Chain A
């Protein structure tokens, strides 16, 4: 049972949300929040420790506080927040290595919870419709966040071999959306005009931020379950999402997608890496049977309602677009009225 919990990445949105939620749990004695930058949001009763998980100091903190549960939420999916791909990889891969090294040394740690991602499954036309936890990707993600996630999972597997006494729960979350969270997928659908791969309309799953946190909570306090996929029920497609977000689409041939992705990335509007492009073209499905049966988690939001919740808080693509719409419909109405008149006159 978790008593002293160490949470990495509390200054990030999900980490802060998780720390706040954990603060409500009276059974937890002490919460340590670790990050390199101080949080700009409340982290509840968690104590903030300014430390870099890439630094061996994390081991000292663990032993001093007697941490028994380590929650690793510092695998970053959005490089633009953290100063680019190099920093992202440094934090994700080297940070995980250091953290796991500290855990391996620690006497007190008895449980490790890792927030992983469905990106480890990659995305390709050869994929089965649904990935269950024991399946391996048909094409390993070779770039960006997906590759980082695969490496993180590799280190966690190595750790579980070396410390079989530590319980490990690893949640592979589908793309997280919500009214306040910023992820690559929310940035993408917030673009004023959404570029979509020409001739493709991938289906994918989403998980609401509240559900993601609830699943992490369950993984922390409940029994250890190993690897579990977490996703909302049902599927949405890219064009369906753009329709729900009331965004015009701009089809782009997939071959030129990486070029466009580079432009979009440069402009700082959204992160548009290759693994995300393949997701938008071929989609991905997660089998959530284990989520229900083993983890015992029932998401509150379906993929669609999660996206709708996000889309509700989305500003219109162009400010005042509703006013423009009204003006256009006024003009159209006037024109149609004139046509109606003409029609009436010419037809006896």
Chain B
């Protein structure tokens, strides 16, 4: 018989019997079970792998940029410099047109970069300096450069530049010389990379960068600008000081990506600024003009005709350059994530500053929120066996409740030291207020006020877990079913468990019975504490009774909806959804001294008399504390 069967088997399946290797068998199975052969799958994965690095780099960069840690700033900066490097390498030398465009965009970019740091030295363009010299009113003090300067503000500057053809020609000739060295950008990149601990494009470190450039020009390109060699002796001294004073509060700002080649004439100007920043402004301006004069003798000799034609020419060149630049930019089509993040951060900071909020704080919060979103979208979080999701609780649940806790109910907490720092404890409280707002506020109180920031794991009725959204929120925030098994499991794990033994009887009692404790369940919480050997911490909550005073009940509606009660409050059915806004009563939460249960031993849980006694003791403690708190309370709402 067995021969028969093996024969059948052999006939049916082509797999050799002496090939018991699991991997091979599985591969065959897969090949047979799935209609599609395994090969395309493999090729697919390989393709994916091939495409991997490019794709993998993206999210990583974005992720790195969104987290505010100090390490991130370096990494994002380094990625940005990487992007810069490639951009610089890809950019061909193009001549005066591109240089003009570069100059135009560099100017704009520099100024769009400065605004958010009002106290920093803002360099003034040559034309503006000229205007200053001539006594013309300078529009936009450095602080106002922040958000105040409008495009309209830009036009006078440009027009002065255009009118004063001499300065402009200087610029053009300058930059045309600078274009001879596209590799100098790479040099700049490395310089940037070495300075990653500073916020890369911040105006603060401009002098630093300029000084580096100056040093380099001093070494390698001596023919460029005569004003430069005078600089290095004082900038290196100011360099570390600058680095030290770099704002520490801007860690997460990624390095600004490079735009079109930042021309060397700008660097020259930086060096001039770096030199002049220590001295009086008029000095630097004079020096600048002198430089211009020295570099362009031809402009002076040519007379006004020449200056006019050159001015027109430069204008045309700039226009064409802008077009060229635009074309170049759109052909790039895909700026790195770092660039996008940088842009977003800039917008955000501008918005925050104009709204009068601290930009760093807003930036950090947004970064945190984005990081949280990313963890949600990638499933990168952990839930425990009760469904508790700490990431959600800390980042969503508690922040949502905190406005109520701090602003609306102005909760005052006493006796938080009665909650142990480690180990299990059972927090038992009075329940009131139509919906279980008091338990949520106690949860916030324990997390915010306790030095260990412990999570209160609450026990809820099964009705809570039946309801969509509510049940999910409850489980995620650490609640679980009010059953002895769950309570003991939590307590044995050393968690802080909160229980409101009155249940719906307490929450749904009429306003006339406020602060009168209802029956404390069947004492199940006491037996759970006895079995686990943990202390019971009574908590008395004053103020929750007044948030929705129950004047009446609608039993028919409650039956229809399957709820334990359907309350009528002074505002609720009357004002519709507006009536669901709780009244802003002033709350007091007092944690009483813990009641030890270890001395009774775990067997005491089976002694009903002892359990009842302890239940009564806890209940009486809470009732007495409630009375004393009510005596101390000056007013319901203040």
Report A-chain residues with C-beta under 8 Å of the C-beta of B58. 329
Report B-chain residues with C-beta under 8 Å of the C-beta of A326. 51, 55
Most buried by A among B26, B41, B378: B26
- Structural contact, A127 and B108, CB atoms closer than 8 A: no
Q: How far is the CB of A211 from chain B (nearest CB, A)?
A: 14
Instruction: Check: A282 CB closer than 8 A to any chain B CB.
Output: yes
The residue on A at minimum CB distance from B484 is: A128
Q: How far is the CB of B385 from chain A (nearest CB, A)?
A: 5
Instruction: Check: A158 CB closer than 8 A to any chain B CB.
Output: no
- Structural contact, A129 and B385, CB atoms closer than 8 A: yes
Report A-chain residues with C-beta under 8 Å of the C-beta of B519. none
Q: Known contacts being A24-B20, A42-B13, A343-B347, is A180 close to B471, with CB within 8 Å?
A: no
Instruction: Check: A345 CB closer than 8 A to any chain B CB.
Output: yes
Most buried by B among A23, A203, A234, A341: A203
**What per-residue 1/0 map shows which CB atoms of B1-33 lie under 8 Å from chain A?**
110011011001101010110100110111011
Chain A residues within 8 Å of chain B by Cβ, number: 68
Most buried by A among B150, B154, B334, B476: B334
One of A21, A125, A243 near B376 (C-beta < 8 A): A243
Report B-chain residues with C-beta under 8 Å of the C-beta of A322. 48, 51
What is the bound-complex CA distance between A199 and B468, given in angstroms? 4
The residue on A at minimum CB distance from B337 is: A333
- Structural contact, B379 and A240, CB atoms closer than 8 A: yes
Segment from B310-318, B324-332, B418-426, B446-454 that makes contact with A: B324-332
Report A-chain residues with C-beta under 8 Å of the C-beta of B340. 333, 336, 340
Report B-chain residues with C-beta under 8 Å of the C-beta of A129. 385-387, 480-481, 485-486, 489
Instruction: Check: A56 CB closer than 8 A to any chain B CB.
Output: no
**What per-residue 1/0 map shows which CB atoms of B367-396 lie under 8 Å from chain A?**
000000000111101111111010000000
The residue on A at minimum CB distance from B27 is: A180
What is the bound-complex CA distance between A13 and B30, given in angstroms? 11
Report A-chain residues with C-beta under 8 Å of the C-beta of B15. 41-42
Q: Known contacts being A126-B481, A333-B334, A344-B109, is A241 close to B379, with CB within 8 Å?
A: yes
Q: Known contacts being A199-B472, A341-B329, A348-B112, is A125 close to B462, with CB within 8 Å?
A: yes
What is the bound-complex CA distance between A128 and B239, given in angstroms? 65
- Structural contact, A38 and B12, CB atoms closer than 8 A: yes
Instruction: Check: B151 CB closer than 8 A to any chain A CB.
Output: yes
Q: Known contacts being A48-B5, A129-B480, A339-B343, is A42 close to B485, with CB within 8 Å?
A: no
- Structural contact, B32 and A40, CB atoms closer than 8 A: yes
- Structural contact, A20 and B20, CB atoms closer than 8 A: yes
The residue on B at minimum CB distance from A128 is: B485
Instruction: Check: B300 CB closer than 8 A to any chain A CB.
Output: no
What is the bound-complex CA distance between A346 and B109, given in angstroms? 11
- Structural contact, A41 and B335, CB atoms closer than 8 A: no
One of B29, B334, B384, B467 near A41 (C-beta < 8 A): B29
What is the bound-complex CA distance between A282 and B474, given in angstroms? 12
The residue on A at minimum CB distance from B382 is: A234
Report B-chain residues with C-beta under 8 Å of the C-beta of A234. 382
- Structural contact, B151 and A47, CB atoms closer than 8 A: no
Report B-chain residues with C-beta under 8 Å of the C-beta of A285. 385
Interface residues of A in 1-35 (CB under 8 A from B): 13, 16-17, 20-21, 23-24
Instruction: Check: B84 CB closer than 8 A to any chain A CB.
Output: no
Instruction: Check: A200 CB closer than 8 A to any chain B CB.
Output: yes
Q: How far is the CB of B353 from chain A (nearest CB, A)?
A: 13
- Structural contact, A42 and B20, CB atoms closer than 8 A: yes
At the interface, is chain B mostly helix, strand, loop or mixed?
A: helix
Q: Known contacts being A41-B29, A240-B381, A322-B48, is A201 close to B472, with CB within 8 Å?
A: yes
Report A-chain residues with C-beta under 8 Å of the C-beta of B465. 125-126, 282
- Structural contact, A41 and B25, CB atoms closer than 8 A: yes
Instruction: Check: B149 CB closer than 8 A to any chain A CB.
Output: yes
Instruction: Check: A347 CB closer than 8 A to any chain B CB.
Output: yes
- Structural contact, A243 and B379, CB atoms closer than 8 A: yes
The residue on A at minimum CB distance from B9 is: A48
Interface residues of B in 93-147 (CB under 8 A from A): 105, 108-109, 111-112, 115
Interface residues of A in 265-284 (CB under 8 A from B): 282-283
- Structural contact, B480 and A40, CB atoms closer than 8 A: no
One of B32, B329, B335, B468 near A200 (C-beta < 8 A): B468
The residue on B at minimum CB distance from A182 is: B33
Q: How far is the CB of A133 from chain B (nearest CB, A)?
A: 13
One of B8, B151, B332, B466 near A346 (C-beta < 8 A): B151
Instruction: Check: B90 CB closer than 8 A to any chain A CB.
Output: no
Report A-chain residues with C-beta under 8 Å of the C-beta of B9. 38-39, 43, 47-48
Report B-chain residues with C-beta under 8 Å of the C-beta of A343. 112, 343, 346-347
Instruction: Check: A262 CB closer than 8 A to any chain B CB.
Output: no
- Structural contact, B326 and A254, CB atoms closer than 8 A: no
One of B29, B48, B347, B377 near A243 (C-beta < 8 A): B377
What is the bound-complex CA distance between A315 and B32, given in angstroms? 17
One of A20, A242, A243, A329 near B25 (C-beta < 8 A): A20
Q: How far is the CB of B473 from chain A (nearest CB, A)?
A: 9
Report B-chain residues with C-beta under 8 Å of the C-beta of A135. 485
21 contacting pairs across A/B (C-beta < 8 A): A20-B22, A40-B33, A41-B13, A45-B20, A47-B2, A50-B8, A127-B481, A129-B486, A130-B489, A180-B30, A200-B471, A239-B379, A240-B383, A326-B55, A340-B339, A340-B340, A347-B112, A348-B108, A348-B149, A348-B150, A348-B151
Using a CB–CB distance below 8 Å, which chain B residues touch chain A? Answer: 1-2, 5-6, 8-9, 12-13, 15, 17, 19-20, 22, 25-26, 28-30, 32-33, 41, 48, 51, 55, 58, 105, 108-109, 111-112, 115, 149-151, 153-154, 326, 329-330, 332-335, 339-340, 343, 346-347, 350, 376-379, 381-387, 389, 462, 465-469, 471-472, 475-476, 480-481, 483, 485-486, 489
Q: Which 6 A-B pairs have the closest CB atoms?
A: A199-B468, A243-B379, A125-B465, A333-B334, A199-B469, A240-B379
Known pairs A135-B485, A334-B334 / 18 extra A-B pairs, C-beta < 8 Å: A41-B28, A42-B25, A47-B2, A48-B9, A125-B481, A129-B481, A198-B468, A199-B469, A200-B472, A201-B475, A236-B383, A240-B379, A243-B377, A322-B51, A333-B340, A337-B335, A346-B151, A348-B149
